[in-house]
Amino acid sequence: MRVLILAKESKQSEAGTPPTAEAMAEYQKFNGELVKAGVVVASGRLSPSSQGKRVQFDGKKRTVIDGPFAESKELVAGYWLWEVRSLAEALEWLKRAPYDGGTFEVREVAMHEGV
């Protein structure tokens, strides 16, 4: 099954400060392990929401809203797309990630299972 891992906002990524070299190296080591296990199919880190836009739909009307989205409690700062055998496997991998803060959401991609 395919799962999407959403890394929820931390102040640092919203400020646009790049992670420290040490944190980056740890992340790369972990990501490398995931790749070696054949788990990762896509990944990315997002720019701060100040560079983002939102499009609101209301009937026929579309409104484009500029970032930053300060009113939102949680913002997505990055994502992973994994292929795993179960949600439990995804959780087990995620617990090994080298983070000391933040919330990560694990969601199954439902459409992918439509076969």
Partner 1 sequence: MTAGRSKSARSRCTRACERTRTVIPRPDAAPEDPDRSERAARDAHRAIEAIWRIESARLIAGLARLVGDIGTAEELAQDALVAALEQWPTAGVPEKPGPWLMATARHRATDLIRRRRTLERKYEELGRDVARDQDGAASEPSTEDDFGDDILGLMFMACHPVLSKDARVALTLRVLGGLTTDEIARAFLVPVSTIAQRIVRAKRTLAETHVRFEVPSGPGRAARLASVLEVIYLIFNEGYSATEGEDWVRPALCEDAIRLGRILAELTPDESEVHALVALMELHASRLRARVGPSGEPILLLDQDRATWDRLLIGRGLAALERAERLGGAMGPYALQAAIAACHARATTAAETDWPRISALYDALAQLVPSPVVELNRAVAVGMAFGPQAGLDVVDALVSEPSLKAYHLLPAVRADLLRKLGRLDEARAEFERAALLTENTRERELLRRRAAECAAERMSG
Residues that bind partner 1 (CB under 8 A): 1, 33, 35-39, 41-42, 81, 83, 85-86, 88-89, 91-93, 111-115
Nearer to partner 1, 64 or 111 (CB): 111
The percent helix, strand, coil of the chain (3-state, each to 5) is 30, 35, 35
Helix H or strand E encompassing 2: strand 2-8
In angstroms, give the least distance from the CB of 96 to partner 1: 9
In angstroms, give the least distance from the CB of 18 to partner 1: 26
Which residue type occupies 10? S
